[in-house]
């Protein structure tokens, strides 16, 4: 499906070292990420969930935020991300939204689950119809909600993404 997309070991080692030092320093969980463009590190990120009380502050999301700031863009086309672990559903989605060219990861979701970070439940929940999700999920006032999209369609200053 994809051509040979061999990653650079030095960037993966960096992501793994970030993850390990994050644990040892007591800052957060065992996850690190490095974003690279044209062979240069653009940004790095570590898991800051417990240190910042932000459940979205995963390593990949943190790195994406920093890379977008550094490159002054919301799109990371031309960049690759190296993650110390296979991304969770939130991070994978963020990677896709950021339009990174390639994702490289070291340990797997199974490895993470064995260490106490099991994301399988989230994957299962997303795949279920609203009515079957554990979190009550109710679609209502759809017609009213369409007003925002109608405004978007006619807004001359919109930035497509």
40: Cα separation from own chain's centroid: 20
What residue has token string 């031309």?
A: 78
Catalytic residue among 60, 72, 124, 134: 60
- Residue 17 a catalytic site member: no
In sequence order, the β-bridge partners of residue 103 are: 81
> Rounded to 5 degrees, what angle do the CA atoms 138, 91, 124 make?
50
Q: Which residues pair with 81 in a beta bridge?
A: 35, 103
Show which residues are catalytic.
60
């Amino acid at each position: 499906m994809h051509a040979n997309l061999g990653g650079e070991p030095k960037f993966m080692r960096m992501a793994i070292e970030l993850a390990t030092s994050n644990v040892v320093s007591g800052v957060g969980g065992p996850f690190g990420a490095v974003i690279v463009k044209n062979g240069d590190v653009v940004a790095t990120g570590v898991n800051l969930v417990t240190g910042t009380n932000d459940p979205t502050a995963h390593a990949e999301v943190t790195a994406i935020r920093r890379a977008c700031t550094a490159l002054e863009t919301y799109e990371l086309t031309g960049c690759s991300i190296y993650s110390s672990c296979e991304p969770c559903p939130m991070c994978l989605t963020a990677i896709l939204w950021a339009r990174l060219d390639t994702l490289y990861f070291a340990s797997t979701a199974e490895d993470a689950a064995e260490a106490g970070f099991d994301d399988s439940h989230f994957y299962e929940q997303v795949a279920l119809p609203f009515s079957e999700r554990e979190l009550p999920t109710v679609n209502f006032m759809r017609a009213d909600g369409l007003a925002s999209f109608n405004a978007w369609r006619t807004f001359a200053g919109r930035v497509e993404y």
